Structure 1
Amino acid sequence: MADHAHEPTEHTHLLFPRSRFDEEARSVITKEEGALAGTAIGERLAYNDYTTIDWLHDLVKDSYRFRALHSREGLRARIICNFDACSGWIAVSIIGALMAFVAVAVDLSVATVGSWKYGYCSKNPFLSRETCCRWAEEEGKPCDQYKLWGDSYGMRFGIYVGWAVLFGIISSSVTMLSKRALPSVTPKKDYSNGITTSLNDNLTAGKSLYMSAGSGIPEIKTILSGFVIPHFLDIRILVLKAVGAVFAVATGMSLGKEGPFIHIAACVGQLVAQIFPKYQENGKKLREILSAACAAGLSAAFGAPIGGVLFAYEEVSVYFPRKVLWRTFLCSMVAAMTLRALNPRGTGKLVLFETNYGTLYRPEHYLVFIFLGIAGGLWGGTFTMANFRWAKWFRSLPTIKDNPVFEVFLVILITAALQYPNPATRAPGDIIIKNLLVSCDGTKDTWVCQNESRDDGRWDYIAWLAYGTLVQLASTTITFGLKVPSGIIIPALVGGALFGRLVGQWVTTISPGIFAMVGAAAFLAGVTRMTISLCVIMFELTGELEYTIPHMIAILVAKWTADALSKESVYDLAQSVLGHPFLDTDHALTLVQHQSSSLVEALIPPATTMVELTINVPPNNKVSRKVLKEKLGYLHRRGLMDGGVVLVQKGLLEGYIAEPELDFGLNKLGKGFGDDVEVRLLGDSEEGEYDLSTFVDRTPITICSRAPMEYAVEIFGKLGLRYLCVTEEGSGKLIGFVIKKRLLIYLDGLKHE
């Protein structure tokens, strides 16, 4: 996320009223936290490149803002208060409408660019094949205005592959432009021992990310859980993601645009939120808007407003109270309404794969639905492991590691060469699904229905379905993780629909399209472990409410089967591979419960670390500026952007002061003071004193060192804390100071035991 959007919200005064220094403090702290890292000295923790927000302190900060706003009188004050109360509803409405426009632009661009692989529209080359032929098909006439490339199969095949490779190179090249380095703290001054010498004046970068690659969902989950990924939601990334997604989907690779739509929607949400100071200056409030925006992304992608709300709740959000649920509902609804009004598909409907099977399933068909669920779970469970091993081996090869665009070139070349010969997989992903879900009632004249009406055994048709299933699943395994914008939803649906249609060839009592529909849901459930949201999305995609139970059976069986093979969904795996911090309390509690004895004391930092991060405050409540500069130097050298020091008096915890506040207090407010001056940290200040007590959090959350580790997991997860102080059992003395990142490192260690 952009620096100007988040850093101010994380370091304003937290548990005390606003002072006259607030505005200046915000601007200075923004610059400090945006600085890039230099030398790494001392004990450095993993995830130092990510800052965290403190949900509890942001809640208190918003309370002070609310009270200050409502303490004023007069008509103007009432208008401002009413606008403030409505600002959330206004923001999500704008986000929903804007996301629908972006989705339509991307959809139309994908349709046009993707059509160029097959031919061109003679009356307007910028029309897609579907748009070019729409009027002719409505009148029952052949489409003469869309011209295929060449007259021979060989020429069409070569041009198809050539266009696909070109589109892939363009998409990957655009993605390369989104490479950004995550910032770390720059230790501009070495304050240890009172010496003020420059350690490193050059800006250096921490970990690098291709911010427009992949779906963006793992990063969005990281952000919504309380971490900050600078620049990830910038308008520049939005543009690169949208352009890259158009050309990536147009290649015909096993990827979809629905996942990237979530990232694009979050970018739109970030941009709109900056209009409202209420969200611009508070990390917790901003994440409420981002949760709603994610729902609009899926709503605009599938025309599934209810499914979008449930997806935001089930899959990406950590903090989702009822107020957020209502606003998410509105955001998703506005996105769907705008999408229907724009009518990009020309049908006037939101339903993407409308079906009407007309036949009812019988109890014996439950066995087939269970079988589809098992198959989907087996593929979902093995996919995560196979994709991880493939990436670990293939992407570690020097040529591939140093040339991501070359990897895209190879995968597209292989995928296009294998897909084009098969009539079942030659079309774009959404068209493939639409063709496979069709019910052949005698009036349909599609390739699928023509073959299923034959009475000669249809072994060549069955072979094409089997071949298509294997190619789709294999190509999805090697495609996921490429340096292009890509999602897993459409590829999984295509693989499941192919397999379900294949199974349906041996069950002749109902339409094979029913098994294609249920198989698609099962395979997607196996990969993502979605349940309720996926079930609703399938209803909204197909309009088939009658098949609630078959979907529920297949989805649950797929999830159980996949969980038995691998606990991580594809998004969890991506988070682990990319190294993003994320505290999943359910998984964390499972890890901790498998330990015979796991207590909070295991999180306590080494003694040397605690000495450096602790300030012993004498009875006069004052400490020399020299001591504070030493402590600030220790924080800088650890590279912590969201660390701090604890204040102790007679062994008892008295407060906490964050690194940015300490830095501001020493280097801005205390610019004219010498190192020997006494700085007040506790108690009431007197006139003329050098006072930093207003920067001290006097109510830090504590936990006993002998408490079960589950307590720490729940407190960090449910309260959204940035830090937790550990006290000794019996005496109550401070013996440890734990930040969220240290808990994550501990949990990572348990995963690899």
Structure 2
Amino acid sequence: MDYADENEPLIVERRRGSSTYGSDSRIRTSEDTIINEISDQNGSGFANQTNGGAKTFVTGSRDVLSAKYESLDYDVCENKILLDEVRSSSNNFLVRKMLARWLIFFLIGVFTALVGVAIDIAIDKIATVKYGLIKQAIDECIEEDCLYKPYLIWAGMNAGFVLVGAFLVAYIEPVAGGSGIPQVKCYLNGVKIPRLVRLKTLFVKAIGVVSSVVGGLAGGKEGPMIHTGAVIAAGISQGKSTSMRSDFRVFRYFREDHEKRDFVSGGAAAGVAAAFGAPVGGVLFSLEEGSSFWNQSLTWRIFFASSVSVFTLNIILSAYHGHPGELTYYGLLNFGHFESLNYDLFELILYAWMGAVGGLLGSLYIHVNYKLTVFRMRYIRGRWLKVIEACLVAAITATVAMLMMFCISDCRSLGQDPTENPIQMYCGDGEYSSVAALWLQNPEASVRSLFHDPPGSQNYLTLFVFTAMYLGLSIWTYGLSVSAGIFIPCLLTGAGWGRLTGMCLGAIFPNADWVDPGKYALVGAAAQLGGVVRMTISLTIILIEATGNINFGLPLMITLMTAKWVGDYFTEGFYDLHIQLSGVPLLPWEPPAMSFELSARGVMSYPVLAFSPVEKVRTIVEALTSQTYNGFPIVERVQPTKSGNGDIAAIGKLRGLILQSQLIVILQRRTYVYLETKPDNEPPIPLAEFRNNYPRYKNIKDIYIPEEEMDYTIDLRPYMNPSPYTVQDTASFPRVFRLFRALGLRHLIVVNESNEVVGMVTRKDIARYRAKSNGALGVEELNISDKL
């Protein structure tokens, strides 16, 4: 291949079809991976057929990765300016940096707790007024036969509150929808989720959670607290806010993806700790479900942030509820004190059976919600439709509750009433409706009622219908354009059928002292939640800390493990399934079992666009304008040669790797030298300049470069990483996968035996290969689309 100018970018022709897949990837090698988007006859989705030999995908498919998701640069660029800064750093600077880390984690814990307290108090105040009005209307209309009035008040208030949250999510910040746990999990895995940790997202999340819970939706605030903690951690650690366009000029040396990831891990853990009063559970949650990278010092700092979060929240909520100094409100979700959680050895069989039931019901939950999510992706695509659907579900929730209260007569004596203001409905004097007691309070209070109500507080029909209705409503609710999590709906549903199980056991063994409906409600809640989210270690510790009884750890562990095993047999985990539907290139913990037949040469992208150590401005500008690649190898200027073991041309001997963001800052600063001038005459750009531009760098189109400067040259050697990670083209796929997974890479350069660049491997190149579904052996290759 001939080059008119030796300074032109090196790019090798390919003989097979090509398609670019975003800035993390190069040009693929197979024509059958090109994906075209075509409408079906109804105009409602995408047809699953071929178009001129190219594959097409169906909206909501789990077999397509989205090209729009980029990776984060977790790998630290050890270039000359970084090493010079480290060598010149004094001991005092290193000590200040270490102390700053601990200070940031302390602030993460405090502010996460403060936001959680604000959300909890707002829900408590508004819900008290709301349910007070509904109860008053019911009491006034029960004898005048005008129950339609309290129903209209109830449905109208639900729809009104949800309208606020749905509008904010649909029109202001869609990434604030749901619990945010899948998105945070992707971020910590190394995937850049746009606008995930912005301050605007936090405001929408907080207001949305309040409106969703007060609006009566089958959702909770505990899951969104994890996202809230992540946003707070990202904001504090960077010392600036992009949403507010302000820079507080602090913590600048933490402005890089690697440092930011560690703080976000701590924020997610602090959110769990604040939600359940479980600092150890928060650390384990961040380890089990979130972070892909871990070390001992990070563990200590995250535990510190989680403990600070629990302590701060406990002090404020205890004072708010009239118990200052007692520290009895250690989490937003308070399970209450269990007098006894003793168990006999033979009960472990019952707990395993309940875990299996939880796994089955969790699989049902996931499967139906998956079908509903696909339906939404195809048909409910307009923002106004999303808002209408959310309000409709809120109104139907009130309708279901009112119909249950009207149709089911379950009266109990007032002495057993678990609520502050009992509703009599059609019960006799001195009695209250246990159905109304379940519905006319926040879901967290209903969970505590099912855990601690005395035996006989509800009949069989009440619990069966309530559990079935709430399960259906929770399935319908998740995926709406609102901010709400699934922890509380799963706990409440599981507590319902778990207490029902305890009542049945009590009827079979009337004189058995080991039968406690509240205990079985706890086991059912654990089984249902474990069957949906498929967490074991962290959830066991969270429930132990929330109940304050470590002796019940073994039953909970057996229940959760059984729920996971049974659930995994039928469906994938809830969060993993939604991540697949979003097309996020998430890397699992292990490579596909049968992937040893693949090699780096088989999965890499080529040809590679590369630069010389000293490159023309024109060449760099044209490359950044025409391509969206994130990383560019720096190679010696040699003639491309054919490799000895294939038809892929080697570009040149590797000298280093430079990132697109670094090139943008270099061009923005206009640090040019003439070709005939020695590069050493121009001092390199200080590292602080790159940190100040992080994380949103300018687009090349926004940088003006005069034509007379286009022939200047730039010495890239001070800025490039001279020792990037590489792999031989003969390396197996599992080896390449483990390098990506363990090191958090964004690029992996493929070289031949002569250290000449032959290709690049990126996250999408790795994520597109996965184990075959339905238990079949082998590896399947996913498609990539820029339409998703």
| TM-score, scaled to structure 2 | 0.72
Any residues of structure 2 matched to 1:191-340 within 5 Å, and which?
210-275=174-239, 276-277=250-251, 280-340=254-314
Q: Structure 1, residues 132-180: CA drift from partner, whole Å, max 9, x if none? A: xxxxxxxxxxxxxx8867433443333222211111111101223433x
Q: Structure 1, residues 87-129: CA drift from partner, whole Å, max 9, x if none? A: 11111111211221211111011112223332259xxxxxxx9
In the alignment, which residue of structure 2 is the partner of 1:643? 631
Letter in 2 for 1:378: L
Which shows bigger deviation, 652-661 or 332-341? 652-661
Letter in 2 for 1:553: I
Partners of 1:52 and 1:679 in 2: how far apart?
36
Distance 1:41 1:364, change over 3 A: closer
Partners of 1:379 and 1:99 in 2: how far apart?
33
Partners of 1:218 and 1:87 in 2: how far apart?
29
Letter in 1 for 2:580: S
Letter in 2 for 1:385: H
Partners of 1:64 and 1:376 in 2: how far apart?
57
Partners of 1:604 and 1:706 in 2: how far apart?
11
Partners of 1:86 and 1:271 in 2: how far apart?
18
Q: Tell whether 2:89 aligns with 1:100.
A: no
In the alignment, which residue of structure 2 is the partner of 1:412? 394
Q: Tell whether 2:610 aligns with 1:614.
A: yes
- Stretches of 4+ aligned residues off by more than 6 angstroms: 40-45, 58-63, 146-149, 678-681, 684-689
The alpha carbon displacement at 1:501 in A equals 0.6
Question: Which among 341, 350, 368 is matched to residue 386 of structure 1?
Answer: 368
Q: Structure 1, residues 476-535: CA drift from partner, whole Å, max 9, x if none? A: 111111111111111111111011011111212311111110110111111111111111
In the alignment, which residue of structure 1 is the partner of 2:597? 597
Question: Which among 574, 580, 599 is matched to residue 578 of structure 2?
Answer: 574
Question: Which among 494, 497, 516 is matched to residue 495 of structure 2?
Answer: 497
Distance 1:359 1:522, change over 3 A: closer
The alpha carbon displacement at 1:671 in A equals 6.0
Letter in 2 for 1:240: V
Partners of 1:739 and 1:653 in 2: how far apart?
17
Whether the aligned pair in 2 keeps the contact of 1:117 and 1:164 (CA below 8 Å) is: no
Partners of 2:81 and 2:283 in 1: how far apart?
28
Distance 1:472 1:666, change over 3 A: same
Give the secondary structure class of the aligned counterpart of 2:346.
helix
Q: What is the count of residue pairs matched by the alignment?
A: 617
Distance 1:636 1:476, change over 3 A: farther
Q: Structure 1, residues 169-220: CA drift from partner, whole Å, max 9, x if none? A: 11101223433xxxxxxxxxxxxxxxxxxxxxxxxxxxxxx12111111221
The alpha carbon displacement at 1:257 in A equals 0.6
Query: RMSD across aligned C-alpha pairs, in angstroms?
Result: 3.2
Partners of 2:289 and 2:26 in 1: how far apart?
38
In the alignment, which residue of structure 1 is the partner of 2:661? 660
Whether the aligned pair in 2 keeps the contact of 1:336 and 1:350 (CA below 8 Å) is: no
In the alignment, which residue of structure 2 is the partner of 1:735? 758
Whether the aligned pair in 2 keeps the contact of 1:278 and 1:285 (CA below 8 Å) is: no
Question: Which among 150, 158, 167 is matched to residue 156 of structure 1?
Answer: 150
Any residues of structure 2 matched to 1:349-368 within 5 Å, and which?
349-350=328-329, 352-358=334-340, 360-368=342-350
Q: Structure 1, residues 194-252: CA drift from partner, whole Å, max 9, x if none? A: xxxxxxxxxxxxxxxx1211111122122222333343222222111101110101122
Partners of 1:511 and 1:411 in 2: how far apart?
35
Whether the aligned pair in 1 keeps the contact of 2:595 and 2:733 (CA below 8 Å) is: no
Partners of 2:561 and 2:79 in 1: how far apart?
37
Give the secondary structure class of the aligned counterpart of 1:396.
helix
Whether the aligned pair in 2 keeps the contact of 1:679 and 1:690 (CA below 8 Å) is: no
The alpha carbon displacement at 1:333 in A equals 0.8
Whether the aligned pair in 2 keeps the contact of 1:96 and 1:296 (CA below 8 Å) is: yes
Give the secondary structure class of the aligned counterpart of 2:176.
coil
Give the secondary structure class of the aligned counterpart of 1:654.
strand
Partners of 2:754 and 2:66 in 1: how far apart?
32
Letter in 2 for 1:170: V
Any residues of structure 2 matched to 1:452-531 within 5 Å, and which?
461-508=459-506, 509=512, 510-531=515-536
Partners of 2:720 and 2:677 in 1: how far apart?
12
Give the secondary structure class of the aligned counterpart of 2:654.
strand
- Structure ranking higher on relative contact order (CA contacts 8 Å, 6+ apart): 2
Question: Which among 359, 367, 372 is matched to residue 354 of structure 2?
Answer: 372
Distance 1:668 1:341, change over 3 A: closer
Question: Which among 573, 585, 588 is matched to residue 584 of structure 1?
Answer: 588
Q: Structure 1, residues 519-563: CA drift from partner, whole Å, max 9, x if none? A: 101111111111111111112222232322211110000011111
In the alignment, which residue of structure 1 is the partner of 2:745? 721
Whether the aligned pair in 2 keeps the contact of 1:42 and 1:637 (CA below 8 Å) is: no
Partners of 2:582 and 2:563 in 1: how far apart?
26
Question: Which among 552, 558, 564 is matched to residue 569 of structure 2?
Answer: 564
Q: Tell whether 2:736 aligns with 1:712.
A: yes
Whether the aligned pair in 2 keeps the contact of 1:357 and 1:439 (CA below 8 Å) is: no
Letter in 1 for 2:577: L
Q: Structure 1, residues 394-446: CA drift from partner, whole Å, max 9, x if none? A: 44225767521011022222222113425134432101110101162xxxxxx
Any residues of structure 2 matched to 1:392-431 within 5 Å, and which?
392-397=374-379, 403-420=385-402, 421-422=404-405, 423=435, 424-431=438-445
Q: Tell whether 2:780 aligns with 1:750.
A: yes
Whether the aligned pair in 2 keeps the contact of 1:400 and 1:406 (CA below 8 Å) is: no
Larger relative helix fraction: 1
Distance 1:262 1:358, change over 3 A: closer
Whether the aligned pair in 2 keeps the contact of 1:218 and 1:575 (CA below 8 Å) is: yes
| TM-score, scaled to structure 1 | 0.75
Distance 1:279 1:499, change over 3 A: farther
Letter in 2 for 1:656: L
In the alignment, which residue of structure 1 is the partner of 2:707? none
Whether the aligned pair in 1 keeps the contact of 2:585 and 2:768 (CA below 8 Å) is: no
Partners of 1:623 and 1:481 in 2: how far apart?
49
The alpha carbon displacement at 1:49 in A equals 4.6
Distance 1:226 1:58, change over 3 A: farther
Distance 1:666 1:98, change over 3 A: closer
Unmatched segments (≥5 aa) in structure 2? 1-21, 29-33, 35-64, 240-249, 406-434, 507-511, 639-651, 684-711, 772-778, 784-788
Partners of 2:117 and 2:79 in 1: how far apart?
37
In the alignment, which residue of structure 2 is the partner of 1:438? 452
Letter in 1 for 2:560: I
Whether the aligned pair in 2 keeps the contact of 1:56 and 1:719 (CA below 8 Å) is: no
Letter in 1 for 2:166: S
In the alignment, which residue of structure 1 is the partner of 2:7? none
In the alignment, which residue of structure 2 is the partner of 1:187? none
Distance 1:501 1:59, change over 3 A: farther
Partners of 1:177 and 1:400 in 2: how far apart?
10
Unmatched segments (≥5 aa) in structure 1? 1-36, 72-77, 122-128, 130-145, 180-209, 441-447, 452-460
Whether the aligned pair in 1 keeps the contact of 2:599 and 2:731 (CA below 8 Å) is: yes
Distance 1:313 1:120, change over 3 A: same
Letter in 2 for 1:88: R
Give the secondary structure class of the aligned counterpart of 1:117.
helix
Partners of 2:220 and 2:396 in 1: how far apart?
18
Letter in 1 for 2:610: T
Distance 1:380 1:678, change over 3 A: farther
Letter in 1 for 2:401: Q
Q: Tell whether 2:77 aligns with 1:87.
A: no
Letter in 2 for 1:536: I
